[in-house]
Structure 1
Amino acid sequence: MSLPLLALFLAAFAFGTAEFVIAGILPDVATDLGVSVPVAGYLISGYAIGIAIGGPLLALLTNRMSRKTLILLLGAVFTLGQALCAIAPNFELLMAARVIVSVVHGAYFGIAAVVAVTLVAPERRGFAVALILSGLTVSNILGVPGGTAIGNALGWRATFWTVGAIGFVATLATAFFLPAAPGVQAAAGSFKREFRALGRQAIICSLLIVVLVMIGQYSLFTFIAPLLLEVTQLEPGVVPWVLLLFGIGSTIGVFIGGRLADWKLMPSLIGIMVLQASVYAALYLASPVPWLMAITVIAWGGVNFAFGSPVQSRILAWAGDAPNLASALVPTGFNIGIAIGAVLGGTLLEHDFGYRNLPLIGVAALLLALAIAVLSYAWERHSGDVPPGAPAAA
């Protein structure tokens, strides 16, 4: 792994830990701030909305700035934002601090994906995207269980201080290792081209698929800690270990997904989505049985994170002549789905849906996403369209 990619990976790890660790400490946050667990779940929805709306806007406003300078500024704001989270005296200020962090998070991942693919040969672009995504998966292996354990031992505020320290180290690594002028800059007068690229059916359908897949994932993952406590009947100290299993599966999945994206992109993506729907059904059946739930959680992490690299590679390929806005909208699609999923799950729980039934939302969302993927691929093959810069079909 090259040092510039390592720096991008480390920053991705910090951002991923900040986003996901709240799921492991959600019951403690809710108790300390005097709100219900479903209401505390809006901390995940608010973060996702900040990424979805603020991230693309910030990316467009800064698209003429040096990529390295911008990434350093994002890292500095991230670090300060974690400190604000740690000292927030009430739910409202904690939400505001997380929204600030989420805006820079959304801008970072769009920029990092574009920069990463320019640092490698064309045939390794799927791997480069997977490497950035692996920052998210490693955050699930180390960051989420570690942050949850720190929160259990020292209080949830210590978790945010720790994540802030990781962000500071990541920012220093970026300053030292990332080239002075990596990536691509937006060309003058490129806004029309950027928006035109978004009209391509492959991009539209891919973003819809992303939203649906994230609805399925986060209607469950937002409330994974109370599900494990109340349905699987685990002790609180065991929950970080189950989250660790999810992270192990995620890391395996993200690199498998990267290899598949460089092999046969759309067939691989469709196959992964079939597996995702199957795993959600398995989670529903396995949730009352601790050992079976642990095994299924590994598979859940694997198929969910195998999905990311192929779908992002498809979007970046079809936006190859106008990558800035499309790349910024990738995390937007992910986080619109995260926000909807968290709100949907919380709303259903408040109406006595029950934690055990949450995986059924994933089954329904994945079946709909799978139908869109199959139709999009059939349309692509029938029309003979190819991504910009790709050789035309014979």
Structure 2
Amino acid sequence: MKKSLIALAFGGLTIGITEFVMMGLLPDIASDLKVSIPVAGYLISAYALGVVIGAPLLVVAGRNQPPKKMLLLLALMLTVFNALSIIAPNYNFLFASRLLSGLPHGAFFGVGAVVASRLAEKGKEAQSIAMMFSGLTLANLIGVPIGTYIGHHFIWRYTFILIAMVGLLTFLMIYLWLPNLEKAEKINLKQQLQFFKKKEPWLIFSITAIGFGGLFAWISYIAPLLIHISNFEPEEVSSILILAGLGMVVGNFLGGKLADRFSPAPTVLLLLFVMVIDLGLVYFFSANSYISLFLTFTTGAVSFSVIAPIQMLMIRTAKDAEMLASAALQGSFNIGNALGAFLGGLPLSAGMSYASPNLVGIGMALVGMGLTVLFIRLTQGKVKFENA
């Protein structure tokens, strides 16, 4: 494996821990800051909002900078803004620090996806991009459980010390291992923005935000689901999250293989359908602890297998605007993050069970399927999705 891709994967690791560890820490943070779990869930939405804001703005601001310089700046932002959470004196400060932490997320993956594809062997671009996203999945396999364990057994602020340390390591690895790729010719921003006047990108954004948002209706409240429905002890949650992370690792590489071999849009449609089935099983069978463990793995796998096909769908659709479109797509993923966390919290606020957010996830995935069908009909014969 190329060291340069390892450096990008570590960026994904930093981002992954930052984004997903909050799910496992919700009960601890809610207790410490004296807010309800649904209110603490808005910290997940704060991060997602930061991604939506930062993804297009930072890419536009740095569009004419060399890729390595841009990635170094983004890694530094990840480190510093996460460090702010360590000293958060109250809920509002933590909310603000989470929003700031989300700013470099989309830009890092947007720039990183283009860099990874340039570093890849011909015909293996999607797998190279998946390698970068492997850091995101490994975060769920290793980083998030460790961070959850630290936050639950010691102090949740220590978890953000860990994140800042990984962010600093990412900065050093990019500095030492990433080659000084030539920057692209000066980008005509006005010409790139013409792409966003078309229907296709907005359909992809909507498929991502709504369909993929079904994942976050599930994972945002996985800790109370496991504790109150599956009857696991709070101390067991960090270990169980390893299963979700393992599923995400498997799903990510599966999605990369599928994106290199098959047409992305039908693949997305199929995977969203499987997500509907899986979330339905979670809703009905999570009271059985053994089945709940199995579904924790499968739901993670199904959900993350969608990432590479959607990423390739956007890259192939966004000719001459790949970096900006790729970064904006990360914003859509995190709109899904915010929507899933917010909408999933509504039935909880209404007094329904901790399994009820999965019904919201099913509805979101179904809407995503409908939008994918619309995209396929709109683009049939206009965009070539098969590999050459």
TM range (shorter): over 0.9
Partners of 2:385 and 2:154 in 1: how far apart? 52
The residue that corresponds to 2:91 in the other structure is 91
Partners of 1:65 and 1:72 in 2: how far apart? 11
Residue deviations 1:173-220 (CA, integer Å, cap 9, x gap): 1100001125x53634x2222122223443222211101123211122
Give yes or no for contact 1:55–1:332 (8 Å, CA) kept in 2. Answer: yes
Write the mapping of 1:127-206 to structure 2, written as runs, cut at 5 A: 127-181=127-181, 184-185=183-184, 187-188=186-187, 190-206=188-204
Write the mapping of 1:236-315 to structure 2, written as runs, cut at 5 A: 236-264=234-262, 265-315=264-314
CA drift at 1:349: 1.4
The alignment partner of 1:355 has SS state of coil
- Per mean C-alpha deviation after superposition, the further-off stretch among 285-294 and 212-221 is 212-221
The alignment partner of 2:355 has SS state of helix
The alignment partner of 1:320 has SS state of coil
Give yes or no for contact 2:348–2:354 (8 Å, CA) kept in 1. Answer: yes
1:385 lines up with 2:387 in the alignment? no
Give yes or no for contact 1:123–1:262 (8 Å, CA) kept in 2. Answer: yes
Give yes or no for contact 2:345–2:357 (8 Å, CA) kept in 1. Answer: no
The residue that corresponds to 1:47 in the other structure is 47
1:209 lines up with 2:207 in the alignment? yes
Q: 1:390 to 1:355 in 2, by over 3 A?
A: closer
CA drift at 1:387: 5.2
Partners of 1:218 and 1:66 in 2: how far apart? 34
Partners of 2:233 and 2:352 in 1: how far apart? 23
Give yes or no for contact 1:194–1:324 (8 Å, CA) kept in 2. Answer: no
1:233 lines up with 2:231 in the alignment? yes
Partners of 1:187 and 1:314 in 2: how far apart? 25
Q: 1:89 to 1:375 in 2, by over 3 A?
A: same
The residue that corresponds to 2:218 in the other structure is 220
Partners of 1:301 and 1:277 in 2: how far apart? 13
- Per mean C-alpha deviation after superposition, the further-off stretch among 236-245 and 250-259 is 236-245
CA drift at 1:135: 1.3
Partners of 2:311 and 2:334 in 1: how far apart? 14
- Per mean C-alpha deviation after superposition, the further-off stretch among 4-13 and 73-82 is 73-82
Partners of 2:320 and 2:62 in 1: how far apart? 19
CA drift at 1:114: 1.3
Task: Work out the number of aligned pairs and report it.
Answer: 387
Give yes or no for contact 2:7–2:173 (8 Å, CA) kept in 1. Answer: yes
CA drift at 1:129: 1.8
CA drift at 1:371: 1.6
The residue that corresponds to 2:340 in the other structure is 341
Structure 1 portions without partners, runs of 5+: none
Percent identity (aligned): 35
Give yes or no for contact 1:38–1:349 (8 Å, CA) kept in 2. Answer: yes
Give yes or no for contact 1:274–1:370 (8 Å, CA) kept in 2. Answer: yes
Give yes or no for contact 2:59–2:327 (8 Å, CA) kept in 1. Answer: yes
The alignment partner of 2:207 has SS state of helix
Give 2:313's aligned amino acid: R
The alignment partner of 1:233 has SS state of coil
Give yes or no for contact 1:214–1:335 (8 Å, CA) kept in 2. Answer: no
Partners of 1:186 and 1:153 in 2: how far apart? 51
The residue that corresponds to 1:10 in the other structure is 10
Partners of 2:121 and 2:255 in 1: how far apart? 18
The residue that corresponds to 1:330 in the other structure is 329
Q: Give me the TM-score of the superposition, normalised by structure 2.
A: 0.96
The alignment partner of 1:41 has SS state of helix
Write the mapping of 1:54-93 to structure 2, written as runs, cut at 5 A: 54-93=54-93
Give 1:212's aligned amino acid: I
Give yes or no for contact 1:129–1:313 (8 Å, CA) kept in 2. Answer: no
Partners of 1:245 and 1:236 in 2: how far apart? 16
